[in-house]
Structure 1
Amino acid sequence: MLENFIQSLQEKVCCTNDFQDGTKFRKKDRALQCKYIELNQLYKKYIVLDIDRPGAAFLWEEKGLPPPTIITINPEKATCHYLYELKTPVIYTHNGRRAPQKYYEAVDLALTHALEADLNYIGKFTRNPLYSNHLVITHPVQYELEDFQEWHLELASVKKKASHLDCSGYGRNSTIFHKLRFIAYPVVKSFTNFEIFYGEMEKQAFELNAEFAVNSKACLAAKEVMGIAHSVSKYCWKHRHSIDQMKFRGVMQLPKEMTIREKQIAAASHTHHQRKKNSLEHILAAALALKSQGKAVTQKAVATHSKYSLDTVKRNWGAVDKKFGLYIHAV
């Protein structure tokens, strides 16, 4: 199990013996002599939890939860880091798929709640299980993300914050998301490396989150903030070459005094009419193309040519008839 841990690390690893002295990149063999070591953040091989309570080494057993692959114990305080090894690492590069990332984050947060672990721990640095003064317990187990469902973790409710957070979590989540994306849009083109861009967005997201504390509101859990930062970063990076030509929310220029509910209704109506208009335009263009080629303008032919369903064409057939003077509505 410890050999797998060593192999999961990058060749140069950020590490430290005391965070007050800062961190430093060292070659893997030297980094493994340090007290704290950074896990690979681009290929996440472990779900890591900080159990900040004395005597936590067997807490997983008390709560009927899966055994961690590695338990690293602080001998002075008897607090622990739990490391659950994954058979398949979750990729967090810009090419990584968001679905497995969300699944990883859901399992991570569910385990955090179930084991009453530190919600503000982000799983970046862990106690080094090979450090000479740490006590270590290992179990010969690896997991697929799906395996954790066997322990009835509440994955469906992982978006709920801890009990000390107020019920406005959705508002805070949304606030950080929208503020961060507007920070990201104008600057993404100035970056040449996704990891550096993501690091900057993560920093900005945590600064936005800290504003809630200034305003006497509870902050979001660190893992929630990281998820927002990654979503925004990945989207902006993917569209960085065209992002300044894209249209974002606000095209309707709705009055500020409108309530959110009123804006949602207006936006839904606008979207419906816009889609209907676009459908009709494509259907008319298909009918014109058929007519110009000397082909019969039938509902079935227009549906095939426009790639819309026959039902959609039928709903718009009156406009086609009016446009082209059709009198025989053959199918």
Structure 2
Amino acid sequence: MAEKVPLVKFNNGLNCPILGLGTWQAIRGEESKVYEAVCDAIDIGYRHIDGAHLYGNEKEVGQAIKEKISQGVVKRENLFVTSKLWNTFHSPDWVETAVKLSLSDLGLEYLDLYLIHWPMAYKEGYDLEPVDENGKTIFSDVDYVDTWRAMEKLVEKGLVKSIGVSNFNTKQIDRVLEIAKIKPVTNQVEVHPYLYQQKLYDFCNTRDIVLTAYSPLGSPQRPWAQAEDPNVLEDPVVKKIAAKHGKTPAQVIIRSAVDRGIIVVPKSASKKRLAENFDIWDFKLSNDDQKEISRLDRNFRVIPHDHGREHKDYPFSQE
């Protein structure tokens, strides 16, 4: 099944499978589920695994990758593995330490892609959520432009093959491009029908930067969800289009993003849903379907990252 997944060519010439497995929101203390999910995903045909140091499960992700390589199911060179630099490692002196920590946890010699997770820098160190006595996040004044220069050195040293950003707005991307020796290959952001991101999509397209969608199904299981929050999987328009194609709402939403050329990394711990999310290659949405989905946009963000809102580089106040 793996060969069915189309590849997206980055601006550095490297290819990335357009559909991957997201590993965020795995519950702490249930790391075995992450291991099982990655094993199941690779068996199903996924070849793109999206992770991050913040998620706290890179050891389990790495164990699953090692297991599947040792079983002969997949070779390392046929996997695309992503990790992300957390906010407390933005200081140029910390960047290489951070990527080596992820590589060690994953048991890998290199990453296919390494992203700056957020543009905001926090107080440097291994405490991933540094707070003061009032419970407020302690920020750092490191400029993400300086962080980017340190990211470029990781490519030069062979620790990572590609570098990119995540949760950056248009102004922030342009600031990086002004100084970049190596261009970001992607900007990973929240994208789903209720946050369609057309403006950012067009902006990145004109700069040869691919958009990657996290929370593509609206993360209905997020711990901070409110009862009154809209659930895109229950949207009547999405359900109508799904019924027309004999598919599930999740499959329609993933296909909608893929048809736009957006890389999609849905997360699931259920083997049934992993297989379902992967089974999107036997149908295509019509232009009318896509227009209907685009009209659902209501600028509804499920990952607002509120504890970084007061940071000077908080990205969503300008979008």
TM norm structure 2? 0.24
The structure, 1 or 2, with the larger RCO (C-alpha pairs under 8 Å, 6+ apart) is 2
